[in-house]
Copies of this chain bind each other. A is one copy, B any other.
Amino acid sequence: MSLLAVGTLAYDSIETVAAKRADLLGGSVTYFSLAAALFAKVAVVGVVGKDFKKQDLELLRAKGIDTAGVEVQDGETFRWSGRYEADWNTRHTLATHLNVFEHFDPKVPAAQRSARFVFLANAAPEIQAKALAQVSAPIFVMADTMNLWIDIAKPALLDLLRRVDALILNDEEARMLTGERNLLRAAAKALDLGPKHIVLKKGEHGAFLIGRGAHFALPAYPVEEVVDPTGAGDSFAGGFMGYLASVGTVDAPAMRRSMLHGTAAASMCVEGFGVEQLAKCTRQDVDARCAELRSIVTV
């Protein structure tokens, strides 16, 4: 079934302990759509500046990603730069330049308004809501967010959460949103805000899927060498939503398998700088990791 993702396309500059790379293709819907496209037809809505490289748009199109919803505006593309500590858990944002994304006004093309699966990548909740309002009858909507919006736009975020099926968060965001230290209680409180499913991302420690009376836990895929964790969360979301859209159902077994596919996609992502590894991998690669991960967790 059709899958739509709304969010950023960006250029990132990334420093790790081992290396430093500038102006890499990045952004939430870039990672998301490259992962989702392994499983389903995906369309993206976003905005880029005149500096956005033709070859980067072509990279997405070559994967079958529909980029008709990517608006080109006067100005520069969103830019982010950050540095990771040796343990990967500490990320320092060095600079964020919203550029053309500052006044992003999402316009979902007519052909995409019937999308059944929707991913609202991290953005101001008002922008996420504006995009969602243009989709006529979605079956399953997942939203991402970040500390900034919990801090400065909580009423709008709470309003959005009443209209989504799933919220994807990391542990810190879950605690901040709910004021609850214990992650399981934080997830339970987040369910009270509207979503039927909470996806808790714990990085190298895996992910939880929590619903009312339902709990699924999955460790991360054992990656031998992390090169760059940028985009892991959006790749997870892409594998998750892409798989769900491919099976067209959101029952409990499908949701658990979507966690497996999200985890496998995220593990591919972190093995290269930016999108380099994710853009190279095939459905067969991800399926092999899913099978391996399944065997790793089978009691």
Contact = CB atoms under 8 A, between A and B. Distances in A.
A31 B257 CA distance: 37
Contacts of A181: 86-87
A216 B222 CA distance: 10
Contacts of A205: 202, 205-206
A260 to B, nearest CB: 5
Nearest to A209: B296
B299 A218 contact: yes
Residue of A202, A205, A219, A259 with most chain B CB atoms under a 10 A cut-off: A219
A90 interface: no
A212 to B, nearest CB: 14
A231 to B, nearest CB: 20
A258 to B, nearest CB: 10
Given A202-B205, A205-B202, A205-B205, A222 B184 contact: yes
A181 B87 CA distance: 8
Nearest to A259: B299
A31 to B, nearest CB: 23
A205 B218 CA distance: 10
A299 B257 contact: yes
A225 interface: yes
A294 interface: yes
Given A256-B299, A299-B256, A299-B297, A184 B224 contact: yes
Interface of A: 86-87, 181-182, 184-185, 202, 205-206, 215-219, 222, 224-225, 256-257, 259-260, 294, 296-299
10 contacts: A87-B181, A182-B225, A185-B224, A206-B217, A217-B222, A217-B297, A256-B299, A257-B299, A259-B299, A297-B299
